[in-house]
Amino acid sequence: MDKIFLHGMKAETLIGVYEWERKQPQTLVIDLDIGLPPRRGSDDIADTVHYAEVCQAVRDSLRRQDFFLLETLAEHIAALVLDGFAAVWVKVRLVKPGILPDVRETGVEIEREKAV
């Protein structure tokens, strides 16, 4: 299976269940692995997933919404990619860096496939 990936993308959103987390947007680190339909040697960008457009769509969406749980946000991003682009599957990994003392990364990872 072919895939494209965006690793280490940073985006800001309101996220968290505690009042102190909801006072200002937090920076998240997002990794996306996006499964592509078979391309068969095409050199046309219309035959693939345009990763810059995915990045912009995710950032725009996160600016307009807020979430309590990383799990809900991961589902939202997965649906955005699967519904808005020619992706056949997606793996979403979200990291909230520095949220817990003495823990480098806290996060969630999910994988979803396009419904047939």
Tens digit of pLDDT for each residue in 45-73? Answer: 877 889 999 999 999 999 999 999 999 99
Decide if pLDDT at 116 tops 80: no
Return d(Cα 102, Cα 22) in angstroms, integer. 22
Q: Distance (Å, rounded) from C-alpha 101 to C-alpha 79?
A: 32
What pLDDT was estimated at residue 77? 98
Catalytic residues, by residue number, are: 96
pLDDT at res. 114: 92
First and final CA of the chain: distance in angstroms?
Answer: 17
| Domain annotation for the chain: domains and CATH numbers | 3-113 (3.30.1130.10)
Rounded CA-CA distance 22/115 in Å is 34
User: Residue length, the chain?
Assistant: 116
Which residue carries 């969630």 as its tokens?
108
pLDDT at 54: 97
